[in-house]
Amino acid sequence: MWHEESVSPPKIISGNFTGLYSLFVTSNGDIYIDDGYYNGRVQKWIAETNIFVTVMNISSQCEGLFVDINDTLYCSMPDHHQVMKRSLNDPVMASNRVAAGTGIGGSDSNQLDGPGGIFVDVNLDLYVADCDNNRVQLFQPEGSNSITVAGSSSQNPTIALFCPTGIILDAEKYLFIVDQDNHRIVGSGLNGFRCLVGCYGMGSQSNQLVKPFSFSFDNSGNMFVPDRNNHRIQKFLLMKDSFALSFNQPKFCPTAIWNSNGFTFANQSIVGQYPAAIFVSSNNTIYVPNRQNSTIVMWQDDSVNPTKIIPGNFTEANSLFVTSNGDIYIDDGYYNGRVQKWIAETNIFVTVMNVSSECAGLFVDINDTLYCSMPDHHQVMKRSLNDTVMTSNRVAAGTGIEGSDSNQFNGPFGIFVDVNLDLYVADCANNRVQLFQPGVKNGITVAGIKSEYLTIVLLCPTGIILDAEKYLFIMDKGNHRIVGSGLNGFRCLVGCYGMGSQSKQLNYPFSLSFDHSGNMFVTDTSNHRIQKFKYLKRYCLNTFSVLQKTYSSSLTNKNQMYYRDCHKEAFYYESIQMKITKSGYYSFRGSGDIDPYGSIYKIKFNPLDPSDNLLGQDYDGGSDIQFKLDIHLAADLIYVLVVTTFDSKETGNFSIDVWGENEVIPDRLSTPVNIQLRYSLKLTDDSPTYYRDCQVPQCHYETLQIHVNTTGPKQSSCVIGDQCNFYLKGIGLTLDDILRNELQPNIVLNNQSFSIKFSAGLTIIMFIAGLINSILSFITFQHKDSQQVGCGMYLLTSSMTSLLAISMFIIKFWFVVLTHINVSTSLSVLRGGCAYIEPILKLFLYLDGWLNACVAVERAILIFKGVKFDKKKSKSIARRTILILPFCIFGTLIHELVYRQLFVYETGLDKIDMNKTNEDTNNRYVSCITHYSPSIQDYNTAILFFHLVGPFIVNLFSALFIIFGGAHQRSMARTNQNFKEHVKEQFCEHKQLIISPIVLLVLSIPRLIISLLPGCAKTSENLWLYLGPYFISFTPSMLIFLIFVFPSELYMKAFKQSFNRIRRCTPS
């Protein structure tokens, strides 16, 4: 036994068992151990008494033992092809029962053949390593038949097993299996099974196993494996952040791709000529040596421009490495025979290693050992940075003699050392990558012409990185590209279009590094630049994806057409609605006789605006799969796939394969267009002529008048303009929308419809009423008795803002009427009115409501404070509130000045009647529009509710506080009445405080409703249904006198005094 990270066994327990195969330890420290082969029993060592007792009688060895959560002991017996069990709570020793297997060797679902390791989860599901059937079986409680969960006969086979003997489930129920005769441990995950340890064949090296039998994890996730035929216990460390690696090792999906077009992160003016080295640290700081001026250029925190430049006395550095504390190790070997270290804490350079040539690769491993690859000496040297002796260099790999044997190099460049201290070397002139394990002089070719599985040919590799799953990424310098390994071998990742200087090309690149998002940074040496290639994570697909559906159709000249953009011709298209049953990654792959072009949209496809709702599009002419859309889709949302062609008006058959984990249901949306009429005519010398333009005179023509009879829905009134200049109306019905179809251009007001004339008269009446209300209110509240507290000051201001609100309303109305009647109004005037009138109108309306709310709040405070109410402080607060409140409200509306703009659309010549003049046929359509994004629209709705409902809530709660607070105070003073009676009295006395906010809210609700109606509502059919509520919503600004002055004895007294004073001052 070993306790808590101890190296030597602190305890050894002696027993009388023989030839044991398995053991299990319970949470109290008791040990169950196999003693079946010779003695036919399972023994238990009791930790408390330190003695052994027999707990189960069996007839063969137990190659697997397990105690479940119900204290049931399981034993797998390979000689009897069964798993037996007995309850440890049962006092009868002979109470064994069959848990799995028939006792006859076989491969049926109820049989086992040489079962080994077992595992029982908390649901009492039994997992059995069925060795001789090369599979892992799952037996559910009370079921005799099993399910194959791993092996060639499983439902989704992703790995072949050869006599599995051990099994463990992790916290997320992923399987970990000892694949004994393949000498390895494999594990499952989101993307199926993969090899974890022992992935380099049978052997005795540190990364090899021979006939492993079982394994177990410690609480840190490290793996312990009895390497049976090597007679040792091996520990494999879990790679995780606890090692504080200074560089990034992202975990990529199996289908990972990078944007083939990189962008220049830094050019020659920043990094100099022929940049060689790059390092991106785990905190996303980028380091590049400028070889021309002997500096290290740094970018921090995703900055675009360099944030720091470190000057040094090194010359033409080819490599650098940065440790987690920020220290920089940099090559200075070619001229000065050394490796230097820049100490981040002191900002100075010191020599840390003496070398006899350049270091084309530098690396510091987890034990603080510094490695230097020397291409001129065909060796990799190393020295411990903890060793005080500077001359303590040792050979890490290579003989120092050029060659291609397994222990030789020919110009080694980039190096990488993993947490197991395995050394990977880019052996440039041998066109290969070599792996050297600790203490082993001979390397294994893991990539290149002599590798075991040749899937790629390299030409002078110079850089190498391993990702989190130990897949290789190699700088293939001579082929001007970067390649990476995966489940299916190597493939080209970037620079796959030959040597060059375009964004998707490289020219003798030298090294690479990843940031924490998986983006790739490359020193494009002969192009004198640093290129960044973005990791396209959204294209990741689950490898469990299967073909769910194949949709076949064709594009013909009867398909609908649209303009893919405003600079190309029309295209036939077919739109298909895709119903997604479960969220996940899906792939749509199109091919056919045509050259298909695929696009996918969220919710709907609008042929007038093909960019609206667009999620992705793809075209890849020349391949078997002509477009491929890999995308994450959510369940319960509508998606529309649009198939068109790369060239205009192309027709032919096509098919779409839909891949994913779950079913996808396609449903065709677009319908064919049928020819309704074919009309023939002939131009002759007798046909009339006209000048088509100044270059082509005397053109014969004939005119046609076309009447369109429709039985379906008319064109949506939500769309203004044509295909290349249009606007889609959104939420919010404005006065422009209500009156637009009712107003007749170039017709004087007297000849307009009755509705327009009546509306004009009504606005004048409303203005006069509002003016009278404001004057009466002003007369009342300018009296000094009314301004003893803040309430009077709020109401005095409200009397002015209500006048301004009703004034802006009449300005808005007449601006809309006159500009629609006079179509020649200057565009600058229209723009000014569009941008400013509505926000200013809203400002005064909202200000009026919040001033009334302030009155209610102060009244409530007066009840709360009672005799302690400070009138002077009340007036001071009122002055500041009146000053600040308009700015606060305007701050919520200021974005409208940006989003409100003028939409101008001019129609061309009338195509129906050519006898009309240009003056008749050229029409200018002008509308005030708002281009709100969905988030801004949501913000507008929230602000609307806040300004209209907020004052109501403040008024209501203040009124309730006044009523109940006043009742409470009176009940304390007048004990002859109970609290309920006082509440009734207070309600009768202050009922106007409840009624007033409700009246104001009811009158404001029409404005709330109108603001939430779609802008394309057909108002002309029921004009007064929209115009009436719009007018009603402005009546609160005319009711201040009636609501606040008339019910109040104090304010009515002040009004009468002020009115009498004015009357006395007025000459008779």
176 has a pLDDT exceeding 80: yes
Query: What is the b/e burial string over 566-580, where b = at least 16 CB atoms within 10 angstroms of the residue's CB?
Result: eeeeebbbbbbbbeb
857-873 mean pLDDT = 78
Confidence at 676, pLDDT banded by 50, 70, 90: low
Select from 2.60.40.10, 3.40.50.300, 2.120.10.30, 3.40.640.10 the CATH code of 263-538.
Answer: 2.120.10.30
CA-based radius of gyration for the chain: 42
Range among 539-543, 628-632, 839-843, 976-980 with highest mean pLDDT value: 839-843
Confidence at 926, pLDDT banded by 50, 70, 90: confident
212 has a pLDDT exceeding 80: yes
DSSP codes joined into one string, 802-870: HHHHHHHHHHHHHHHHHHHH-TT--HHHHHHHHHHHHHHHHHHHHHHHHHHHHHHHHHHHHHHHGGG--
718 has a pLDDT exceeding 70: no
pLDDT number for residue 336: 94
pLDDT number for residue 720: 60
Tell me if 23-238 shares its fold with 263-538: yes
pLDDT number for residue 608: 79
1041 has a pLDDT exceeding 80: no
Confidence at 182, pLDDT banded by 50, 70, 90: very high
216-223 mean pLDDT = 89
Contacts of 742 (CB under 8 A, 6+ apart): 752, 753, 755, 756, 1019, 1020, 1023
224 has a pLDDT exceeding 80: yes
Query: What is the b/e burial string over 703-724, where b = at least 16 CB atoms within 10 angstroms of the residue's CB?
Result: eeeeeeeeeeeeeebebbbeee
1009-1019 mean pLDDT = 63
| CA atoms of 780 and 1055, how far apart (whole Å) | 4
Other CB atoms within 10 Å distance of the CB of residue 763: 20
Asked: is 545-668 a CATH 2.60.120.380 domain? The reply is: yes
629 or 242, greater pLDDT: 629
| Across 24-28, 317-321, 461-465, 727-731, least confident range | 727-731
| CA atoms of 320 and 339, how far apart (whole Å) | 9
1012 has a pLDDT exceeding 60: yes
Amino acid symbol at 759: S
Architecture field, domain 23-238: 6 Propeller (2.120)
Closest CA to 429 of 450, 415, 411, 441: 411
Tens-place pLDDT, residues 677-707: 677 778 888 888 876 665 566 788 788 777 6
Query: What is the b/e burial string over 4-26, where b = at least 16 CB atoms within 10 angstroms of the residue's CB?
Result: eeeeeeeeeeeeebeebbbbbbe
Tens-place pLDDT, residues 324-370: 889 999 999 999 999 999 999 899 999 999 999 999 999 999 888 99
Confidence at 1040, pLDDT banded by 50, 70, 90: low
Q: Which residue ranges make up each domain of the chain?
A: 23-238, 263-538, 545-668, 739-1057
Read off the pTM.
0.42
Range among 262-266, 833-837, 1053-1057 with highest mean pLDDT value: 262-266
| CA atoms of 633 and 132, how far apart (whole Å) | 43
1041-1065 mean pLDDT = 66
**What does DSSP assign to residue 672?**
P
Confidence at 672, pLDDT banded by 50, 70, 90: low
pLDDT number for residue 171: 87
pLDDT number for residue 1017: 61
Query: What is the b/e burial string over 1021-1042, where b = at least 16 CB atoms within 10 angstroms of the residue's CB?
Result: eebeebbebbbebbbbbbbbbe
Tens-place pLDDT, residues 69-95: 999 999 999 999 999 999 999 888 888
- Tokens 């606007």 locate to 727
Burial class (CB in 10 A: 0-12, 13-18, 19+), 826: exposed
Fold exhibited by the domain 739-1057:
Rhopdopsin 7-helix transmembrane proteins (1.20.1070)
pLDDT number for residue 82: 95
863 has a pLDDT exceeding 60: yes
232 or 737, greater pLDDT: 232
Confidence at 620, pLDDT banded by 50, 70, 90: low
| CA atoms of 339 and 274, how far apart (whole Å) | 20
**What does DSSP assign to residue 247?**
B
Tens-place pLDDT, residues 39-74: 999 999 999 999 999 999 999 999 999 999 999 999
For residue 1043, CA distances in Å to 111, 797, 1029, 1052 come to: 89, 15, 20, 12
